[in-house]
Copies of this chain bind each other. A is one copy, B any other.
Amino acid sequence: MKLTPLQQEFVLHFGEMGSRWGINRTVGQIYALLFLSSEPLNADSITGALGVSRSNTSMGLKELQSWNLVRLKHFQGDRRDYFTTPEDLWEIVRILVAERKKREIDPTLTKLRELEMSGPAGDDYAEARIAELRELIEMMTGFYAEMEKLETERLVKLMTMGQRIAGLIDKAGGVLPALTKRK
């Protein structure tokens, strides 16, 4: 499978960005390729298009599956696995945010709670700092949980409200939560 120049450049860019995004080059390239393909692709097409080894493709696809970023498809009379990305970009965003939260935030939140549970350490500043950090993360993950519940339509509306958001926040009733209190 030969790539068009457009596909080629997009694929290479995703490969280069991979390391910043916490995936390796091949995984980035595979994802980019699937993202631009109207048709599902099998592992051999991917291998050919990217010029990597078959086993590398296999590992990359496994990694993408562990991220929930690809969908498996099958065709009548063909035993091979075919892969696609979700059509709906919002679904992709939801998956990405959920997975990054799981990998980058949750373990730390757990660790902070553990540290707090293990009782006073006679280190007031550190303890306060840890508690504050945990509260902040909890607030942010709580907000995330609410955003996650919104259907795409509402989410889009919120994201395109512009400066009107500030006004809306002010108009809304409710108590100022403890975390805001000034030092």
Contacts and interface: CB of A to CB of B under 8 A. Distances in A.
A98 to B, nearest CB: 15
Interface of A is mostly: helix
Contacts of A142: 159-160, 162
B157 A36 contact: no
A126 B89 contact: no
Assembly of this chain: how many copies? 2
Interface stretch (A43-51, A63-71, A129-137): A129-137
Interface of A: 4-7, 9-10, 13, 17, 20-22, 35-38, 87, 89-90, 93, 103-104, 107-108, 111, 115, 118, 121-123, 125-127, 129-130, 132-133, 136, 139-140, 142-143, 146, 149-150, 152-154, 156-166, 168-170, 172, 174, 176-177, 179-180, 183
9 contacts: A4-B121, A7-B126, A35-B133, A36-B126, A143-B158, A146-B166, A156-B179, A161-B169, A164-B172
